[in-house]
Amino acid sequence: MKVYHLNFTESFIRPVLDNGVSKVVQFSFSKGKVLEKHKTSSDILVFVLQGKIRFKANEEVILQSGDMVSLEKHVEHSIEAIEESLVVLVLTPSPVSNQEIGSEPRKSVENSSNAKAAVSPQLWSFVEEHAELLEVLDRTAGGYHAETYDLADKMVHEELNKHFRYEEEILFPLLGKYIGTNAGPIAVMLSEHKIIRDNHETFRKRLQDLKNHKGSESDVVQAFKPLESVLRAHIMKEDNVLFPMASSVMSEEDKNEVARKVNEEKQL
């Protein structure tokens, strides 16, 4: 892939994944800097992990933290940082759908299974756990049902207390040796973990209020919406950016260490 890198101030570029399936390139932009006349030979996904950018291809759109767009190969495009931004481009040989990250795509299990193609086997358990959670989130689409929402609460609780812990105590420290933890993808994921925990606490309170006849089903649904939205966005970033990145930059020894420690934790 050819990148036009215009001597960005305090910037870096890491081609971190080249495994024959997809490639990931990470950019750090200072305010006002531009990447222009950029083309790829593969379809791409553009993730904004931090900040706000102006993305121009066939049309111009403003993207901010949490947004994603897709673009077909050979289409010239440019990126301008409206503010200091961290952007990840994922190049994939497979066609990608043109959607915003907040559009809550369905067929979630299939999508997460496909993500495993760019992820090392030692990290597959993270993607598989995401698929299980997404399947439950999909079931909430029909509105409030006590059994479904109780299951969603249980699955999210497990995500926070097990999956997040495996990431924060095992994966992130080892991956941080390669890409750092104070800025970049790991810092973004950690900040989103806090948001998800806060949203889940609010949702759980509304759910308990309903059971105590102090609230309504509508209150529960409204509290669940932001939780679901940030979870879907977070999972997509990890499955399509963080885990492929970890698969590429980490040594086999460290990836094996992640798998070993996660398996040990699951046996407790």
How far apart are the C-alpha atoms of 16 and 12, rounded to whole Å?
Answer: 12
Structure tokens at 21: 């399936």
Distance CA(197)–CA(191), nearest Å, equals 10
Question: Which residues contact residue 38 at a Cβ distance below 8 angstroms, ignoring those fewer than 6 apart?
Answer: 3, 4, 76, 77, 78, 79
Q: Under CATH, domain 104-267 is a member of which superfamily?
A: nmb1532 protein domain like (1.20.120.520)
Residues of the chain with CATH 1.20.120.520: 104-267
Instruction: State pLDDT tens for residues 87-144.
Output: 888 776 544 443 333 334 444 445 555 667 778 999 999 999 999 999 999 988 888 8
Considering the four listed CATH numbers 3.90.1310.10, 1.10.760.10, 2.60.120.10, 3.20.20.10, the one that applies to the domain covering 13-101 is: 2.60.120.10
pLDDT at 267 exceeding the cut of 50: yes
Q: Among 110-114, 148-152, 257-261, whose mean pLDDT is lowest?
A: 110-114
Residues 6+ apart with CB under 8 A from 259: 122, 123, 125
E strand or H helix that includes residue 188: helix 185-211
Residues 6 or more apart from 251 whose CB is under 8 A from it?
none
Q: Quick check: 75 pLDDT over 50?
A: yes
- Rounded to whole angstroms, how far apart are CA atoms 202 and 196? 10
- Residue 241: other Cβ atoms inside 10 A: 25
Query: Looking at the predicted structure, is the pLDDT value of residue 2 above 70?
Result: no
Identify the residue with better confidence: 192 or 9: 192
Residues of the chain with CATH 2.60.120.10: 13-101
Angle at 175 between CA 169 and CA 179, to 5 degrees: 130
Query: Is pLDDT at 59 greater than 70 in this prediction?
Result: yes
pLDDT band at 153 (very low <50, low <70, confident <90, very high): very high
- Is 25 within 8 Å of 15 (Cβ atoms)? yes
Q: Token pair for residue 221?
A: 């649904």
Average pLDDT over residues 238-264: 91
For residue range 35-50, list pLDDT tens digits in order: 888 888 877 778 887 8
Question: Which has the higher per-residue pLDDT, 23 or 225?
Answer: 225
Work out the angle between the directed axes of helices 217-237 and 146-158 (0-180°, nearest 10): 40
d(CA 171, CA 177): 10
63 vs 4, higher pLDDT = 63
Assign residue 184 a region: left if phi > 0, alpha if psi is -120 to 50, beta otherwise?
Answer: left
Per-residue pLDDT reduced to its tens digit, 182-236: 877 888 889 899 999 999 999 999 999 999 999 899 999 999 999 998 898 888 8
Per-residue pLDDT, 110: 53
Distance CA 139, CA 205 (A): 21
With both helix axes pointing from N to C terminus, report the angle between 108-115 and 124-139 in degrees, rounded to the nearest 10.
170
Which amino acid is present at 150?
Answer: D
With 50 as the cut, is the pLDDT of residue 86 above it? yes
Greatest pairwise CA separation for the chain in angstroms: 61
